[in-house]
Amino acid sequence: MAPTLGMKFTNPTELKQCLTNYAVKHGYDLWYEKNDKNRLLVKCCKGKEPTCPFRLWASWMQEERTFQIKSLKSSHNCGRVYKIGLVNYKWIGKQYFNVLLENPRLSLRKMKAQISSTYNIIVSIGQCRNAKKFALSEIEGTLKEHYSRLWDYGIEIKRANPGSTVEGCRQIIGIDGCFLKGICKGELLAAVGRDANNSMFPLAWDVVTVENKDTWKWFLDLLMDDIDRGSGNGLTLISDGHKLTKKGFLMLSTDYVLGTY
């Protein structure tokens, strides 16, 4: 959207976002001559000849709390540039929020190439690196905020749909085994849990001659007895993809079914 005289914004940041989008779309080399919380003076092509006539002035309105464009010379006589000064890592991160949500392992070089192809601008690997960190931190924060509202969501389900059942988070135990090398051979079986601070702590461990169905059943039977959970009802056991895995699950006995991750 091109800026127009009298256009109103919630704050200067919102106007800057609009100006960056405008600069990227047309390849204008905009820059801020004055830039603070109360005023914004924007010009084009700093230090270049001939001087571009574009000029935008914005400040807060007196009678309402909105940031307004109060004077504007919208014409340009400059050519397209491909390195836009207004483009920073936060702008890139916001554009790539959904892309990185679906593919957080997108490489910086591919990201740089995609930006060049999509927006017809040049950005650096450093900008892409910072943009990726920014976007992933925003994604993590958003997910934490959503998960923090699960209890409110559960209460609303019960209110709006009487008879519904809403369960809390199930207690989880992670189990795994590894080879022991050196003088003492064998397999180390271990079970870990998470405390209220989301920190892992060991529940049990043992050394066996081989990792198989029988040794795992023996280990888990002792673990259930020690923590007084009987057949393990109410517990979620998570394991890696063990070689005994069949169709996504590892059946150790009629009592335990381990979901793989």
pLDDT at 261: 32
Q: C-alpha distances in angstroms, 58 versus 41, 78, 111, 148, 229?
A: 7, 22, 34, 39, 67
Q: Residue-wise pLDDT tens for the chain (261 aa)?
A: 799 999 999 999 999 999 999 999 999 999 999 999 999 999 999 988 888 999 999 999 988 899 999 999 999 999 999 999 999 999 999 999 999 988 989 999 999 999 999 999 999 999 999 999 999 888 877 777 777 787 888 889 889 998 887 766 557 888 888 888 877 788 999 998 877 677 788 889 899 998 888 998 899 888 888 888 777 677 777 887 544 444 333 444 334 444 433
pLDDT at 140: 79
Q: Which fold has domain 171-260?
A: Nucleotidyltransferase; domain 5 (3.30.420)
Two tokens at 55? 């000029």
Q: Which residues of 147-159 are buried (b: 16+ CB within 10 A; e: fewer)?
A: eeeeeeeeeeeee
> Are the C-beta atoms of residues 87 and 124 closer than 8 Å to each other?
no
What global pTM score does this model have? 0.56
A 10 A CB-CB count for 261 gives: 8
Two tokens at 172? 């989880």
The 8-9 sheet, strands edge to edge = 8-9, 67-73, 55-60, 39-44, 30-35
> Are the C-beta atoms of residues 112 and 80 closer than 8 Å to each other?
no
pLDDT at 170: 59
> Are the C-beta atoms of residues 201 and 183 closer than 8 Å to each other?
no
Peptide bond into 50 cis (omega under 30): yes
Two tokens at 238? 């998570």
Two tokens at 21? 């989008």
Strand partners, 30: 44
> Are the C-beta atoms of residues 33 and 18 closer than 8 Å to each other?
no
CA–chain centroid gap for 140, Å, is 4
CA–chain centroid gap for 176, Å, is 28
* Half-sphere exposure in the Cβ direction for 231 (13 Å, CA): 6
A 10 A CB-CB count for 191 gives: 19
pLDDT at 189: 92
pLDDT at 169: 56
pLDDT at 168: 60
Two tokens at 10? 């919630």
According to DSSP, the β-strands at 171-180 and 8-9 are: unpaired
Write down the domain spans for the chain: 1-84, 87-168, 171-260
Q: How far apart are CA 48 and CA 51, in angstroms?
A: 6
> Are the C-beta atoms of residues 104 and 136 closer than 8 Å to each other?
yes
> Are the C-beta atoms of residues 201 and 189 closer than 8 Å to each other?
no
